Structure 1
């Protein structure tokens, strides 16, 4: 799989912010010393009450919630690294655990749809929106330039559960356009579950720009209170 050696890659790297170590979410510092919260931090802070309450109830009723959360994070991190190495033609599975390898093999038919990679694990930001973040992958998917994210889950997902990811990836598309001037119309979420299911969610960014903007605005309005 080849990398797309065009100005987009160089433009993104030249403007790449630094990820800061903070306890109140993910924050990024630009080369011009502006500090912005990540879109994931913003979406978490502005999530609907029923989602926040659902997470709180799960933690209250699950004694092993810290272990489960840490394990899920580790599996996700390893799975992302395997896919990154695969796309970079630098894959060796010796250092990875069996479950992340299984997730990779499960998603591989979808990964074959990826071509002309622009960037992997790309840090970006938007001065207009005052937000930052890291996109898993910017590449062509089925021939169309896309923001692509991959998720590992314990169970299969339904479209409703993916809504926050659609907002997140749409925000990445806005950041990309602000840097490069190139609009990205498509976001793709690839999901592998421990039930041996793989799912492909493909959405049009235009359907999620307005609700994403509203969540960002809500975050900053709340910070003024």
Structure 2
């Protein structure tokens, strides 16, 4: 996999914040002592009531919800690591469990569309929005510089279910532009399910900038000291 060694990579690494160990979500501390919540923490806190209620009902009705959640996190972590190692040309398949390997193989045709990697698992932040986060991948997808995210799910997804991810990845694009001055127009979400389906969701950032900013503003309005 070809890496695109640019000033972008160096600029991002020079400004990379530290992920803090906290129980109230993901938080990051910048080199200038600013502490910001992650965009995922903000989106979770400002999620529509029907989504929050649906998650609460699932936990009430599923006695094994903690086990299922932990298992899903482990599968996702291993799958992400496999993709990272593959993109870095250092993949050793014998280090991983069977289901993550299946997810990786399922997504591999989409991974062939990735070229000119700028960075993997890049921590970033925005002083303007007072938000931070970690992007799975910034690279060209079908020749266009993109924020790329990958998900492992139990079932196939529909576009409506992906909305929060579009907001999240659009926020990463905003952070990237704030640091580098380079606008990213495209976000890509790659999804593998346990039903052996693979899906590719490609969106234009501009459609999600305004609702993303509204959610960030709502979070800070609700958390005024």
TM-score range, shorter chain: over 0.9
SS of 2:223 mapped into structure 1 = helix
Alpha-carbon distance in 1 for matches of 2:152, 2:5: 30
Q: What residue is the counterpart of 1:131 in the other structure?
A: 131
Q: 2:6 maps to which residue?
A: 6
**Could you say what secondary structure the match of 2:151 adopts?**
strand
Q: 1:224 deviation in Å?
A: 1.5
CA displacement, residues 46-75 of structure 1 (integer Å, 9 cap, x when unaligned):
000000000000000000000000000000
Does residue 204 (structure 1) correspond to residue 204 (structure 2)? The answer is yes
Q: Show the counterpart of 1:177.
A: 177
Task: Map 1:42-61 onto structure 2 (within 5 A).
Answer: 42-61=42-61
Q: Which TM-score applies when normalising by structure 1? A: 1.00
Aligned to 1:220: 220
Offset of 1:2 from its aligned partner? Answer: 1.2
Counterpart of 1:25 in 2: which secondary structure? Answer: coil
Q: Which runs of 4+ in 1 moved over 3 A?
A: none
- 2:23 corresponding residue in structure 1: 23
Unaligned runs of 5+ in 1: none
Separation (CA, whole Å) in 2 of partners of 1:46 and 1:116: 35
TM-fit CA distance, 1:196: 0.1
Q: Let me know the Cα RMSD of the aligned residues.
A: 0.5
Correspondence for 2:119: 119
The 2-side partners of 1:91 and 1:75 are apart by: 16
Matched, 1:190 2:160: no
Partner of 1:101: 101
1:151 matched to 2:154? The reply is: no
Residue 68 (structure 2) pairs with residue 71 (structure 1): no
TM-score between the two structures when normalised by the length of structure 2: 1.00
Offset, 1:169 = 0.1
Corresponding position of 2:41 = 41
Cα deviation for residue 77 of structure 1 reads: 0.1
Equivalences, count: 225
Residue ranges of structure 2 left out of the alignment (5+ in a row): none
Aligned to 2:91: 91
Q: CA separation in 2, counterparts of 1:105 and 1:181?
A: 35
| Whole-angstrom distance in 2 between the partners of 1:161 and 1:62 | 21
